[in-house]
Amino acid sequence: MAYAYLFKYIIIGDTGVGKSCLLLQFTDKRFQPVHDLTMGVEFGARMITIDGKQIKLQIWDTAGQESFRSITRSYYRGAAGALLVYDITRRDTFNHLTTWLEDARQHSNSNMVIMLIGNKSDLESRREVKKEEGEAFAREHGLIFMETSAKTASNVEEAFINTAKEIYEKIQEGVFDINNEANGIKIGPQHAATNASHGGNQGGQQAGGGCC
Amino acid sequence: MMTSVPPRKTWWKSKKTVKVRRSYSTFPSLNAWEKFRGLLPVDGETNPGVGLGVEEGLLCQMVHSPEFNLFPNSVVFESNFVQVRRSRDWKEIYKASNTMALGVTSSVPCLPLPNILLMARVIWHQGQSQTWNRPSTVPSINLKSILPLKFVELQIWDHHERILRLRTVTEKIYFLKLHPDHPETVFRFWIRLVQILHKGLSITTKDPTILVTHCLVPKSLCSPGGKSELVQKNSKGLQPSESLTHLMAQGESEALSQIFSDLHQQKQYSSSRSEKVQINKTSSEKATPCEDSIPCTCDLNWRDAFMFGEWERENPSGPQPHSLLSTLAASSRPRLSLIGGNSI
């Protein structure tokens, strides 16, 4: 399917926080309670619409386990957006965010949009990390923040789409050099011809799209 | 869906430097070449690997496309498989139109062994040849995963049925039956690949007879005689896949080189109409003085530029920085190790 832009995302965070489940919920709209441990990278893709433009999200779901960590680092570069995920029921996954963030900042381009996600919000009774703590961390480090539930699909669409909107806005503002593919943005064939003249229209409405 | 296809590269043109003396004495497919004779594409197709659907295939086109731009200088060896499960007989899990493209490649072209496994789902249109690299209507192909080969075990599970077993360290197991449209030769290449992955090549550290004390390949330079090209390449700016491939070097993964080399040797064989398979390399292949050298070791001064002085063996049991995969093990006594060929 033709698209105006392709944004590369990576999903990072400790093992078991629900990265693959978030991806599955976003691309397939389903929840799989037991998921194989991710090694290397698994891919997902979905088309969304922002400001009337078709945008393809190419999502790289990475391994969270420490033994695969060195490999995960290899995939940061060339990402336009990152979803940094922790589990609200596991304090340790929140405590490790700084390390993940340092890794991401060190190995990715400086303009990468990072969305901090506190996942498993459906497990309120087991919560170990307050929402305010997530918000404070995000504020301190210049991230966007949401709590999600891959199980109930709560805020999952919003997390992916809001990240895309942020990237799109940066494109409009000229922050991203869209001709440099190292920024994780590619211009689709339909858009390449008109790329030079795009204006400063910021924000826009989003609508979910079908899977690619 | 694959939306763009990069310019096609001819493999032997992109291959620049990796030359080692080889012995084909244990390579079963040489006999298969006899059977393969006559199956070579006749018109407009000069590369038998492409004709067999194992080279420059759909998977390769996809990962090299601008959309992924992964491992752009590395050859991909690939085939089309049908995922099956065991019952009384092997049963297909998905509809016939739904296949899996499986391929191996290298994150850095000059690695002696492939280190990356690629898996993609392919949905074909009705009536399409499911092994043809350039179908008139492009099937739907979705890259599913990239797995480091050190976390994967490939086995020939059922030779007669041409079934591979793919097992990951997380105990996920796939049984993959080579697509019936592939000729027997292709399965022999997979057998060969499995052998290489298990036993290594004599230039790799899996061969205990080679004493490796240092990595002899710097991150940024591993193309003998190709330094200027490399500098030019890197000066074009960062590419998305650059961190995967580090600083791309010219050359090819040696194991893939051997497999593809056999393909191209067959091409020579075919054209010469020789009645006997030539085991030794032809004189034309011995033209360069570097033939006997270990890949990427021509300039030992490079070792000064290493970020990782000590070679670490590929060992799934221990953590290993991915960046080490960009280094190439080489023997401290390459000449000795290569005398008498490179049999596995």
B330 in any annotated domain: no
The two structure tokens encoding residue A38: 């991710």
Partners of B169 in beta bridges: none
Q: What is the pLDDT of residue B77?
A: 94
CA distance A158 to A156: 5
Q: What is the pLDDT of residue A14?
A: 95
B9 in any annotated domain: no
CB atoms within 10 A of CB A194: 10
Contacts of B127 (CB under 8 A, 6+ apart): none
Q: Cβ A182–B238 below 8 Å, yes or no?
A: yes
- Name which of A18, A26, A108 is nearest B242 in CA terms: A108
Q: Is the pLDDT of residue A139 over 60?
A: yes
SS3 B302: helix
CB atoms within 10 A of CB B148: 25
B62 in any annotated domain: yes
B306 in any annotated domain: no
Q: Is the pLDDT of residue A146 over 70?
A: yes
pLDDT tens-digit profile of A181-209?
778 888 887 665 555 444 333 333 444 44
Contacts of B287 (CB under 8 A, 6+ apart): none
Tokens 């392919």 map to which residue?
B122
The pLDDT tens digits along chain B (344 residues) read 444 444 444 333 343 333 333 333 333 333 343 344 333 444 455 677 888 889 888 899 999 998 888 888 899 999 999 999 988 788 888 777 789 999 999 988 888 889 999 999 999 877 666 666 666 677 889 999 999 998 899 999 999 999 999 998 888 899 999 998 898 999 999 999 999 888 877 666 555 565 555 444 444 444 444 333 433 444 343 343 443 334 233 334 555 666 666 565 555 544 444 443 333 333 333 333 333 333 333 333 333 333 332 223 333 333 333 332 233 233 223 333 333 333 33
Contacts of B145 (CB under 8 A, 6+ apart): A40, A41, A42, A43, B118, B119
Provide the domain count of chain B. 1
B246 in any annotated domain: no
B318 in any annotated domain: no
Taking the alpha carbons of A18, A19, A25, A26 in that order, is the dihedral positive or negative? Answer: positive
| Best of B241, B247, B314 to mutate (most A CBs within 10 Å, chain A) | B241
Average pLDDT rounded to a whole number, residues A30-34? 91
Which pLDDT band holds residue A153 (cuts at 50, 70, 90)?
very high
Q: Cβ B1–A1 below 8 Å, yes or no?
A: yes
Q: Is the pLDDT of residue A28 over 90?
A: yes
* Residue A132 to chain B, least CA–CA distance (Å): 35
ipTM: 0.84
B261 in any annotated domain: no
What CATH number does residue B100 fall under?
2.30.29.30
Contact list in A for residue B72 (CB cut-off 8 A) is: none
CA distance A19 to A32: 12
Domain with B175, as residue range(s), is: 47-218
- Name which of A181, A162, A187, A174 is nearest A79 in CA terms: A181
B263 in any annotated domain: no
Please tell me which residue of chain A has the smallest CA distance to B115: A40
Contact list in A for residue B237 (CB cut-off 8 A) is: 180, 182
Q: What is the pLDDT of residue A109?
A: 86
What residue ranges define each of the domains in chain A, with the CATH number in brackets? Answer: 5-191 (3.40.50.300)
- Name which of A85, A191, A88 is nearest A143 in CA terms: A85
| Best of B151, B167, B174 to mutate (most A CBs within 10 Å, chain A) | B151
CA distance A115 to A104: 12
CB proximity A136 to B under 8 Å: no
The partner residue sitting opposite B146, judged by closest CB among A41, A45, A188, is A41
- Look at A177 and B184; give whichever has higher pLDDT: B184
Contact list in A for residue B66 (CB cut-off 8 A) is: 181, 186
- Look at B232 and A159; give whichever has higher pLDDT: A159
Tokens 């084909």 map to which residue?
B24
- Name which of B143, B176, B147 is nearest A36 in CA terms: B147
Contact list in A for residue B147 (CB cut-off 8 A) is: 39-40
Q: Is the pLDDT of residue A167 over 80?
A: yes
Task: Name which of A73-87, A108-122, B36-50, B113-127 the model is least confident about.
Answer: B36-50
Q: Is the pLDDT of residue A17 over 80?
A: yes
Contact list in A for residue B166 (CB cut-off 8 A) is: none
Q: Cβ A67–B66 below 8 Å, yes or no?
A: no
